[in-house]
Structure 1
Amino acid sequence: MKRKLSLILSLIITVCFAFTGCGDAEKKEQAKKVKTGGVVTEAIGTSPSGVFLPTAFTFSYDASINNIVYDGLLSLDENMDIAPNLAESYEFSNDNKTLTFKLRNDVKWHDGEKFTADDVDFTFKFCSDEKYKGPYTMFVKNITGYEDYKTGKSTELKGVKKIDDYTIEITTDEVYGSALINFGFMMRIIPEHIWNKDTVEKVQNDTNLIRKPIGTGAFKLETFTPDQGVELVANEYYWKGKPNIDKYVFKLVSSETAESEILNKEVDIIGVGNLTKEDEETYKEQGYRIEDITNNAYHYVGLNLRKPQFSDKKTRQALAYALDRETIVKEVLKGKGEVAYNPYPSNFWAHPDGLNEYKFNPKKSIELFKEAGFEYKENDKKMYYNGNPFTFTYKYVGGDESKTKYALILQQNFKDIGIDVELKPMEFTALSNDVKNGDFDTYSMGIGNFYDGDLGPSYLSTLTPPNGYNYTGYNNPKVDELIKKASTMVTKEEREPVLKEIATILNDELPVIYSYHWKSTMAVSDRIKNFKNAQPIYSQYSNEWFVED
């Protein structure tokens, strides 16, 4: 049963699968059975780097810890709907430019200090400071007065206003449709009394502070041992009530020791690769159940649309029909995924109906190539472009068995319709640099979707590198218009039809060849009760877990 771990990265942009919660009667019955105490241990394949400051995290497992230690003003429930958190309510102004949060008055930091609007005000100003160098810049730059505050022209961040100890307003120059998600959920609040000890430049590099985080989350850090893992303990001040379990441990486990860890019941949650039926049975025999999480993400083949051979959508559609994605899901993912036809997986609220599935059809592919001006010579079974054999290079991350298998299937599929593809495996950093610089014919990557469905960074024509992730150079004025329209809508209900229209256009135009949406698979010990395999991240419900030995 020995398997290489498939790491389950708890970055906010990845996991998105919802299961329906229990009814009220069942919840009351469960509450009677809840036990307190005990430890839950999750296996990780790489140790956190120790940046336990959400405004500065640079590593995925740091994010996993930060998401448990720190809270946002709002949360997302299992249906990806906004739910109260540190803020008990919110309200938009009539023009949708000012967002007012009413904060809970019963929240304490891990050290017992009261949480107030001063902490929220401080967090937004911290991330707007001239010396701040972190990921939250992409959110706060939309706030009124940001540029003046950032450049030192003003000592006041005009768009952030404390009304009283438990009320704060955030104002943007234009309607910012992602305000609720980004200000409320994505940004985690940090305590003023801890981080207001020196300049932003100095404190964000203070290892001692960063490795002793003080948050409002369900668990607080007890120990961090580099190259070993992290131990979190229950927060007795947690506003939802102290968690049922005493400790939540993240333990570094290698692929070589994973089997013994499972056999000895030393881990409770472990990310596993594509399992065979035999493997699944073995896990079950050892007291584990298998949980699949369909990620709100997609794998794709990127095409350099700046090159004339890929500029016609019929060419791209022809390539889609030639790629046997059903076999890829079956053979490469071992069935742990679904064929992709657009950016959104089938369980995401903005996934549209009636999409072209581009089912594997080499004959139709050849016909479309001909319609696009290519020539297919039956005598030598070759595809020609401008009188020359049509060939291109496919770049991908090497050193991974599944990615290599995918590349070989792609190469053979295209060879079957007369196209020779040169495979070029690369290190991820080198591939990323080539893609950003436009140095490619085709490449493959995976990318996560934003929770509010925003597709701008990948498809807006103005967001080519270094301004965004539109690596292919896609340019469609209609899509630009719709993306901008969606960005002014503050509710999911408003956005849904617009996003579905965008996804339908992308399904037709195929700026990339959508390959698959993949699932992350976990083995979870049967001793853990109340475990929710739910979006957006399973650990957000860890305060509800309890264990039975």
Structure 2
Amino acid sequence: MKLAKILGSVGVVSAAALALAACGQSGSSNNQGAKDAKKFPDSTPKKATKQGGTVSVALETDTPFTGIFSDELSTSALDSSVAAPGEESLFDTDDYYRINNKGAATMKLDRKAKTVTITVKKGVKWSDGKQVNAKDLEYPYEILANKKTQAQRYDSTLESIQGMKEYHEGKAKTISGIEMPDGENGRTIVIHYKQMRPGMYFSGNGYFWESAAPYHYLKNIPFNKLQSCDQIRKKPLYFGPFKLDKLVRGQSVTWVPNKYYWRGKPKLNKVVIQVVNPNSASQAIKSHKFDITGVINSQWDQVKNTKGVNWVAQVPLAYSYVGFKMGKWDAKTGKNVMDKNSKVANKSLRQAIGYAMNIDAVNKRYTQGLSFRVNTLIPSGFGAYHDSSIKGYNYNLKKANQLLDKAGYKKKGKWRVQPNGKPLVLHFATMSGSPNAEAITQNYLQQWHKIGLNVKLTGGRLMEFNSFYDKVQHDSKDIDFFQAGWSLASEPSQGSMYGETSPMNYERFVTPENNKLLAEMDSEKSFDTKYRVKVFHQWQKYMYDEAFVIPTSNSYSINAVNNKITGYSTKPSQNNNGHQLWYQVGYAK
């Protein structure tokens, strides 16, 4: 599915990792935790599976999940994890994320005609027994593009579709570029594009949506009520292997088989996902309280000798980062707008903040090397698209001080002042969640104080996940820079996160050069992979230099899985758009 999803608290790799896409090994460390993780498989051992049983899953978070059961309206990895047993993408992929025809729908691309044809298979039914039809394939585009839904996932990527921009701006009542040749009750849509894009062959490309929405179930709900309605919050319909049976809001969710599931009967009778505080995660693993529990990396030493579990590990397509607030989102124009008077408008200041962060020392001390510093915004899991020549913002206090001195941030007593001589106080926002989040944050504040920057925590303390993103998304005045995380789509295009028209470009950074490079990486010319790789490398160098967002770390994701369970896998071909394919999970005979 397009778009990155917002990660939960930075430093916590938990059951939320179930929502992340898999990728190859990356990063290295002399620490024991990383050595252990490299040995672990990406799947449980294959065994004959019996019918029946309940699997319980821990969702490590110190905050309730939002519970928006709609791929179009949800942005949180926690919500993705909670929805995973029911939510299924339209497409299956191979292990390189290339879309194949084994999933619920097929996709055919015609470069000459500039069309993508999507056909849902006969027998793919919603959990109320109704066949998924063409209108269900088209309706998500209306949900995304209608301003009344306030969908965070709409951006210019989708405006490659003819008529999408006109619909979004309220100038047209329908999206002219999406046709249903066999009518709304047929099973096919044909999407007409202004330009074809090289990423279209791969899942996560963002130029077409990879979910369906039950039009017959949602059609009478006004767009401005959609996000809060019972059909989305309490009684969602999915065509995946399970349907929602019981919901304790923000705390737990119980799934039972969808008797109409197109691949046949799932192995399990029930999947229960329950919130557990990260501080209790290690105890939950040792006491076998859940069948599947994500390891909190800082707790690896406490749990690594646990018996009766299989360790399943991966390096997700994800990273945590520090982002600088460079402007505001303009809802009227649907664009990010830079503010030249932003406190962090000076590039040298941003770079100095990056060089002052002792990321390697933090990872070694708090995660046994299970987290590691990343140097660019394209993780190594993307292969050739990743530019390994970029060294990133490695710890260098001397360089940080030199940058500030040269840029005119002179010291006046303990603290540096702005080049105009006025006092400089920077407010930094970050989330609670990880058991060590407070200690890590205090460490970074200390580092910035060492170079004379008066950095204070927004609100004086770590923030709860939902409050944090509410402030970040609404460009709160008391945030100058912040720390957060992305779980990435499996196609490396960057417009949805860093484009001028993307609401998820939380830094609000916009330049002609950035616009040009983002457009070029998805241009017709970029069907030539070598050329596309070159553009990605140019973009990474540009972003590294501008430092409006500085990637900090990625982490091994390790899950403790009951050793009686089989069919659990993090391989892209065994997953479904980053979700565990729950129909194949069961207990071994």
TM range, normalised to the smaller chain? 0.7 to 0.9
Shift of residue 229 of structure 1? 2.2
1:456 aligned partner: 495
Aligned mates of 2:449, 2:223 — CA distance in 1: 56
- SS of match in other structure, 1:294: coil
Say yes or no: does 1:396 pair with 2:396.
no
Matched residue type, 1:8: A
Which consecutive residues of structure 1, in runs of 5 or more, have no partner in the other structure?
Answer: 21-29
Which consecutive residues of structure 2, in runs of 5 or more, have no partner in the other structure?
Answer: 1-10, 27-44, 327-338
One of 500, 503, 513 as aligned partner of 2:537: 500
Q: Which moved more, 1:289-298 or 1:127-136?
A: 127-136
Matched residue type, 1:360: Y
- SS of match in other structure, 2:568: coil
Aligned mates of 1:303, 1:141 — CA distance in 2: 26
Shift of residue 58 of structure 1? 7.0
Specify whether residues 392 and 75 from structure 1 end up closer, same or farther in structure 2 by C-alpha distance, changes over 3 A only.
Answer: farther
Q: Which moved more, 1:356-365 or 1:306-315?
A: 306-315
- SS of match in other structure, 1:9: helix
1:103 aligned partner: 120
- Structure 2 counterparts to residues 147-546 of structure 1, below 5 A: 156-164=174-182, 165-173=186-194, 175=196, 181=204, 186-196=209-219, 206-207=229-230, 211-226=234-249, 229-254=252-277, 261-262=284-285, 265-282=288-305, 284-287=306-309, 289=311, 291=313, 293-300=315-322, 302=324, 306=340, 313-349=347-383, 350-373=385-408, 386=419, 392-397=425-430, 399=432, 402-424=436-458, 425-426=460-461, 427=463, 429=467, 433=471, 436-437=475-476, 439-456=478-495, 459-460=498-499, 462-463=500-501, 468-472=503-507, 474-488=509-523, 493=529, 495-534=532-571, 539-546=579-586
Matched residue type, 1:541: L
One of 35, 38, 42 as aligned partner of 2:50: 35
One of 2, 15, 25 as aligned partner of 1:8: 15
Specify whether residues 296 and 130 from structure 1 end up closer, same or farther in structure 2 by C-alpha distance, changes over 3 A only.
Answer: closer
Say yes or no: does 1:17 pair with 2:23.
yes
**Residues 177 and 488 of structure 1 are in contact (CA less than 8 Å); yes or no, is this contact kept in structure 2?**
yes
Specify whether residues 107 and 405 from structure 1 end up closer, same or farther in structure 2 by C-alpha distance, changes over 3 A only.
Answer: same
Specify whether residues 524 and 360 from structure 1 end up closer, same or farther in structure 2 by C-alpha distance, changes over 3 A only.
Answer: same
**Residues 325 and 480 of structure 2 are in contact (CA less than 8 Å); yes or no, is this contact kept in structure 1?**
yes
CA RMSD, Structure 1 to Structure 2 (Å):
4.3
Shift of residue 220 of structure 1? 2.2
Shift of residue 275 of structure 1? 3.5
Say yes or no: does 1:88 pair with 2:106.
yes
Q: How many residues align?
A: 528
TM-score relative to the length of structure 1: 0.78
Per chain length, whose mean CA-contact separation is higher, i.e. which structure has more relative contact order (CA < 8 Å, sep 6+)?
A: 2
Aligned mates of 1:31, 1:534 — CA distance in 2: 13
Specify whether residues 253 and 5 from structure 1 end up closer, same or farther in structure 2 by C-alpha distance, changes over 3 A only.
Answer: farther
**Residues 454 and 487 of structure 1 are in contact (CA less than 8 Å); yes or no, is this contact kept in structure 2?**
yes
1:141-181 residue CA offsets vs partner (Å, 9 max, x unmatched): 65433465567765543211112334320124455677663
Aligned mates of 2:588, 2:18 — CA distance in 1: 29
Matched residue type, 1:356: K
TM-score relative to the length of structure 2: 0.74
Aligned mates of 1:127, 1:471 — CA distance in 2: 18
Matched residue type, 1:250: I
Specify whether residues 156 and 375 from structure 1 end up closer, same or farther in structure 2 by C-alpha distance, changes over 3 A only.
Answer: closer
Query: Identity of aligned pairs, percent?
Result: 22
Shift of residue 93 of structure 1? 3.5
Aligned mates of 1:475, 1:452 — CA distance in 2: 22
Structure possessing the higher radius of gyration over alpha carbons = 1
**Residues 340 and 517 of structure 1 are in contact (CA less than 8 Å); yes or no, is this contact kept in structure 2?**
yes
**Residues 320 and 483 of structure 2 are in contact (CA less than 8 Å); yes or no, is this contact kept in structure 1?**
no
Aligned mates of 1:50, 1:491 — CA distance in 2: 39
Shift of residue 69 of structure 1? 1.8
**Residues 137 and 211 of structure 2 are in contact (CA less than 8 Å); yes or no, is this contact kept in structure 1?**
no
- Structure 2 counterparts to residues 53-72 of structure 1, below 5 A: 53-57=70-74, 61-72=78-89
**Residues 270 and 523 of structure 1 are in contact (CA less than 8 Å); yes or no, is this contact kept in structure 2?**
yes
